[in-house]
Structure 1
Amino acid sequence: MLEKQHATKETAEALAELQQQIRSCRLCQEHGYIPVAHPIVSGRGTDRILVIGQAPGHRSVAQNRPFSGPGGRVLQSWLEAAGFPPGYLHDHTYLSSLTRCDPGRHKSGHGDRKPSPAEMALCRPYLNAELRLLRPKVVLLVGTMAIEAFCGKVRLEECIGSYIEDNGTLYLPLPHPSGVSRWLNDPEHKKLHQRALTILAHWRDLYHF
């Protein structure tokens, strides 16, 4: 028991140090990809579910909390549909993303700009370190970019409703919860999404989340 407590304390300390490194990171600003860096992090070493999104939006940065906008509310509703209680998203899941700063608006003026491969490469060591420290049982890959970062180039209808397992971690692809996305307007896509939530509900019962 003492050994386990020591390991947990070591993990918490290492995670706190990593989160401070993330908050202090200015790499994308220094490389000229964004005007001002404001990386955000949210999560605890005890969280067994890790959520990986694309990048925080301006609402999340303003509130210093990932998934603070409409997408977060939609994602929370999906968790509730899988049997999780209200507030679970922010209280009991580790919220991460491919990049930690708001990339800004798309040049067209509609929606957010997608982070570039170069930006994602600068941020990826932080995500890898989180995975290594947390060793989550379940990882929710939210949106096409997060899915492709772990599953390769794949269409949503080919992966939503299924999962992959790697070294004891279960990776569940989910569509992006943004209102801009029209993927869930298709009834067949809704069935695949429901299948994914059914899988998540089964894991909730199996692993006592």
Structure 2
Amino acid sequence: MKRLQETLRLCRRCQDQGYLEQALPVVSPVPHEGLIGGLMVIGQAPGLRSQQRGIPFGGPGGRILQSWLEQAGFPPGYLHQRAYLSSLTRCYPGPAPHGQGDRRPSPQELALCRPFLEAELRLLRPRAVLLVGVMAIEAFWGKVKLEEIIGTGRIEETRRWLPLPHPSGISRWLNVPRHREQLQRALTLLADWRRELGL
């Protein structure tokens, strides 16, 4: 795992192929052995605050996500102290060309980073994976609408997958009352998994 993370930190694939001016991968701290088989969180890509701080989910979205975990019964600080944080791509993609938020990584960037994510899943063997935001959900679930998927989960033999909306102030999805109800169903399901799996 340490070798993989060091390779990640040195990666300049997207920069070398012209997708990024500068590659600055953001990598979760090396987990202790107790995190093997635990909780993994997969997002879209690091935001500007995450890149500046060198911490995955290091901005306001991380604080909101931690508050969701607490609603599901996880202790304060769990997100950055106990979960393994990953993303589809590892470098801040830059601002969106039009409007607010960050640029969506291109399919080519996603493909360049995918082997790292697959290796993390193989090495960490997480029993529960939170897919945060549409891009992360679709990378493992296929094309879906949040309205159809939030509040549900998928259970495989050794792994459970839970889709969550993006915890961003820019996203307006949670402004709709029924969408907030869906989020609450998702967090109730996560609380059940926490107890069952001892997370």
Amino acid at match of 2:34: T
Q: Write the distance in 1 (CA, Å) between the matches of 2:40 and 2:27.
A: 12
% identity of equivalent residues: 61
1:168 to 138, 158, 182: 158
2:135 paired residue number: 145
1:76 paired residue number: 66
Q: Which moved more, 1:125-134 or 1:35-44?
A: 35-44
2:168 paired residue number: 178
Amino acid at match of 1:82: A
2:100–2:170: 8 Å Cα contact kept in structure 1? no
2:12 paired residue number: 26
Deviation string, structure 1 residues 51-84 (Cα, Å, up to 9, x no partner): 0000001111111100010000000000000011
Would you say 1:62 and 2:48 are equivalent positions? no
Deviation at 1:109, TM superposition (A): 5.2
Amino acid at match of 2:98: S
Q: SS in structure 2 opposite 1:141?
A: strand
2:101 to 70, 92, 111: 111
Q: Write the distance in 2 (CA, Å) between the matches of 1:117 and 1:166.
A: 27
Amino acid at match of 1:184: L
Q: Write the distance in 2 (CA, Å) between the matches of 1:164 and 1:103.
A: 29
1:9 paired residue number: none
Deviation string, structure 1 residues 126-158 (Cα, Å, up to 9, x no partner): 000000001100000000000000000000011
Q: SS in structure 2 opposite 1:46?
A: helix
1:46 paired residue number: 34
Q: Write the distance in 1 (CA, Å) between the matches of 2:156 and 2:110.
A: 21
| CA RMSD of superposed structures (Å) | 0.9
Deviation at 1:164, TM superposition (A): 1.0
Deviation at 1:100, TM superposition (A): 0.1
Q: Write the distance in 2 (CA, Å) between the matches of 1:132 and 1:70.
A: 29
Deviation at 1:46, TM superposition (A): 3.0
1:191 paired residue number: 181
Q: SS in structure 2 opposite 1:23?
A: helix
TM-score (normalizing by structure 1): 0.91
Q: Write the distance in 2 (CA, Å) between the matches of 1:199 and 1:167.
A: 17
Q: Write the distance in 1 (CA, Å) between the matches of 2:96 and 2:198.
A: 41
Segments of 5+ residues of structure 2 without an aligned counterpart are none
Q: Write the distance in 2 (CA, Å) between the matches of 1:186 and 1:160.
A: 13
Larger Rg, first or second structure (1 or 2) = 1
Q: Which moved more, 1:77-86 or 1:45-54?
A: 45-54
2:3 to 14, 17, 33: 17
Deviation string, structure 1 residues 148-180 (Cα, Å, up to 9, x no partner): 000000000111111112341100000000101
Amino acid at match of 1:192: Q
Name the count of aligned residue pairs: 195
TM-score (normalizing by structure 2): 0.96
Segments of 5+ residues of structure 1 without an aligned counterpart are 1-14
